[in-house]
Structure 1
């Protein structure tokens, strides 16, 4: 019996084969027993045949006692045995034939399976070869992509360097834009509106396409969506850290010690992240934590650390730093470091004037000398505690004033280190006189140091005239621009909002007048623009940090901020001039 169907023996046929093998072994054992019995019977038969060859009488005598019945029985047994042996031989022959057929069938199936296995192995080898080819191609493509990416980065760096050089030559205002992430308070006031409007309000409409482009989706009910793009020197997405932001700011700080004035200003609506970008999260309340975890510090503390690091690389005693902190509140300037007769700090109203040289100045403004970044932060925090804050519907801790932190770096150089004009000589003489009155000890030390180094009367006369070169770093956190309807303020807060918006409008007017090269620039329309006159329209390298919110509900304010930054980018003030320093290092 041969198995039917199937591509192989399978478990059923394997079991059937095992059963047949066991049956075959049983039959073979039975055959051995029967063959043994058959051999014994053959011996007896031979014996009987031998006896039959004797004489008939002897046989008859030998078997006479047994009788005729025994003879008949012996003949029947022999016949039965012969028949059994014949049947066993036939069964054995059929079993051997079936086993042979089963073996042949098993060999055929093994050959078929072996062929299939060889075919599968060949296919796997071909697939492996194809995979290796794909891997080689993928590696080559990755290499090419890496090379193209490196070339792109190099070209982008070259373009940025050339662009910055062009910005510096033209005196343009550098504009960076930072898009903050969505925050919990964005949806705090939406419980009273419908779900559809809430979904629209929380939809993100401002994106950073790349590190130089902002995309804004402008949509109105019943109108097709319009995409607007804005180009700036640098654009930061919602996921970029404070470290990344400051990395693009740090090169400007080197310019301070190269003789340039620098101003970094944050502009944007309330709650867009200006104070976080400039100071960090609640710096005045977590000063100790801020010093330990510097990852969240903003531009102002980081800039001071960088300035003192750069100063530490210079000769000791050649630089010192003074700090002033003022706020512009309701179009009035307040000195946040001023003290009363008891030494208590309180905001004192000051005024801003224009000097004969055409520079803005705040008479009687308090300047504190600091020797490290920690002292600076203590002073800034002391001033921040007096800064005016009121809650609005947009932000619970909204700053209602413009904050201006100024670091004045004074460099002392010898008189023969640089040639100066008559006007510079007059200014230096006045500065030396002020320096001697304000810092007599330092003046004496400088004179004694200069005297000890002089080796002749001519050298003594030259080195006894130290000159002071002052450069200034202004760090400005502007109050938030916003519409009155969204802020929800009334009474005194409404008056504050009005002054904030008017001062920011005046700043936009000043930038527009400079961009259009008008003969008159309205700096005095606001105390803010009057105070920042030297930075906005003077000889300072100005970086404007735009801060915008990504959600639909702030679309109008975000577009206003982006438009302000676009106008600021168009300002050309001519090449920014540096102060005369003895070492003409390359400005960043």
Structure 2
């Protein structure tokens, strides 16, 4: 009974299972399956009629699922068969069968054989259906992909046409831009040329204005500088182109202990007057540009001489010299002493210090070239005191013959700072002729002369000036009888007095405004001739003694100073002037 029921239900069960498996497919797959089933049943082989609509698409994964479902149907049928056979068996004790039962059993076996045959046929049909379904799926996929490829190809062709059109447009735009860039380049060059021309014209105009302003500034500067120099020069001329200062040497310990009586009255020193008490007890009054008291120090003395430093840098020749008998302090006034050099510096060192200071202050407006010569006039012979020793090789390398600046070939040492000057002066002093007399144990037997040559270039006007600054320590003036000079010392004294007399003659000729002045009567006046005339500024220190024993020499020195003080040289002129070449 169970067998019969299974046989009747088996087809329905297969159909049900097939329907359940087809539910796993998408609607497209189901439609395709039904379409194929309908086509198979009708038996039509017309491709145009059998082609599914273009909108139907069967995913490949869905086809695999459908095929798997058909395989599951076969497996299910096999399982159901086994279950039916299991239910058909009734294990129990063995029994005997009747002929009808044996016949029925034979029929049962035949039915089972037919069922087995039917099952195998069904499996074969399922297998064939599976293969046919796969072929249909592949055919459908190929059939659907061809329109898709055609459609994609059409779209691609359309896009290519659009891209070609855009490419042609871009080419035209590039050509236009190229032409535009070319025109722009030409326009840029034109604008650059115009701008360059405008800039050049503007620069030229600005330069012209600056040149005018520079010329105006230069003219105003020159005028102001000239006014300043003229005012300064007028101030110096108002004081006198030849100025005479008188200084008395204080008594030393030896003179104080000997109860010496001073013969000089300095009560009116502030008014530029002093009185000399003569042997007849009368007082003779002398008036000078400045009379120093016994308390005046080296800085007080230099303060009156310092304006002449500006004059020499402005292009004027200047001469400062000390005159007096031996032992009155001429060397101290001009050079000072080694001890306490800063405080006891004389006019020479202080002048050079001030000179380099002003040069540094003016470096932006003027260029200065400074050199020095150091010499002495001994027995009417000019001796160069610049050393030839190896110790001075550093300075010696810059020495040169300068006959154009002097009236004799005297060596110059180019100096750049105060240290170079110290080297020159210290070595030069050691070569100076010094001897002993009754009046001074270390009396200078020559006229010691330091000459500072200054070449000035005005960086604004390009004007070049050359000037000289003479600093002279004259040998002591003394009477032969009093000095007790003999032999070589007598000869030295005679030459000293002769040269000092020649200096007095020159001063007298200048005071008398004579047309001819005898500068050649002495080497001393010969060297100083361009610093004593109308183009120079001269300062003379008259050094005197307070001792009664020196009354005659003191009176002689005071008379000489008074003579010089009365000289008026008239307006001064700059020493040398020339236009700088190449400026």
Shorter-normalised TM range:
0.5 to 0.7
Structure 2 contact 312–467 (Cα < 8 Å) conserved: yes
Give per-residue Cα distances to partners, 1:286-330, cap 9 Å, x unaligned: 6xx52xxx1111000000000000001122681121000010111
Structure 2 contact 268–274 (Cα < 8 Å) conserved: yes
Moved over 6 A (4+): 340-345, 352-355
CA distance in structure 2 between the partners assigned to 1:343 and 1:372 by the alignment = 15
Change (3 A) 1:568 1:398: same
Shift of residue 211 of structure 1? 2.2
User: Is 1:562 aligned with 2:563?
Assistant: no
User: Is 1:270 aligned with 2:326?
Assistant: yes
Q: Show the counterpart of 1:181.
A: 250
Q: Show the counterpart of 1:447.
A: none
Instruction: Provide TM-score, normalisation by structure 1.
Output: 0.54
Q: Show the counterpart of 1:318.
A: 367
CA distance in structure 2 between the partners assigned to 1:335 and 1:208 by the alignment = 43
CA distance in structure 1 between the partners assigned to 2:520 and 2:576 by the alignment = 29
User: Is 1:406 aligned with 2:451?
Assistant: yes
Identify which of 448, 458, 461 aligns with 1:417: 461
Identify which of 289, 306, 319 aligns with 1:250: 306
Structure 1 contact 535–542 (Cα < 8 Å) conserved: yes
Structure 2 unaligned spans of 5+:
1-230, 395-400, 579-583
Change (3 A) 1:232 1:181: same
Identify which of 542, 547, 551 aligns with 1:551: 547
Q: Show the counterpart of 2:114.
A: none
Q: Equivalent residue of 1:361, what SS? A: coil
Q: Equivalent residue of 1:553, what SS? A: helix
Structure 1 contact 407–473 (Cα < 8 Å) conserved: yes
Structure 2 contact 536–575 (Cα < 8 Å) conserved: no
Aligned length: 343
Shift of residue 554 of structure 1? 0.9
Structure 2 contact 506–517 (Cα < 8 Å) conserved: yes
Q: Show the counterpart of 2:40.
A: none
CA distance in structure 1 between the partners assigned to 2:267 and 2:370 by the alignment = 38
Q: Show the counterpart of 2:383.
A: 334
Change (3 A) 1:163 1:516: farther
Correspondences of 1:24-423 after superposition (within 5 Å): 165=234, 168=237, 172-184=241-253, 186=255, 202-220=261-279, 223=280, 225-281=281-337, 283=338, 290=341, 294-315=342-363, 318-337=367-386, 339=388, 361-413=406-458, 417=461
Structure 1 contact 202–551 (Cα < 8 Å) conserved: yes
Shift of residue 477 of structure 1? 0.5
Change (3 A) 1:216 1:488: farther
Instruction: Provide TM-score, normalisation by structure 2.
Output: 0.54
User: Is 1:530 aligned with 2:579?
Assistant: no
Change (3 A) 1:271 1:502: same
CA distance in structure 2 between the partners assigned to 1:362 and 1:529 by the alignment = 11
Shift of residue 353 of structure 1? 12
Structure 1 contact 208–236 (Cα < 8 Å) conserved: no
Structure 2 contact 242–540 (Cα < 8 Å) conserved: yes
Shift of residue 251 of structure 1? 1.5
Q: Equivalent residue of 1:534, what SS? A: helix
Q: Equivalent residue of 1:318, what SS? A: strand
Q: Show the counterpart of 2:176.
A: none
Shift of residue 230 of structure 1? 0.9
CA distance in structure 1 between the partners assigned to 2:479 and 2:235 by the alignment = 36
Shift of residue 185 of structure 1? 5.3
Alpha-carbon RMSD: 3.2
Shift of residue 531 of structure 1? 0.8
Change (3 A) 1:581 1:529: closer
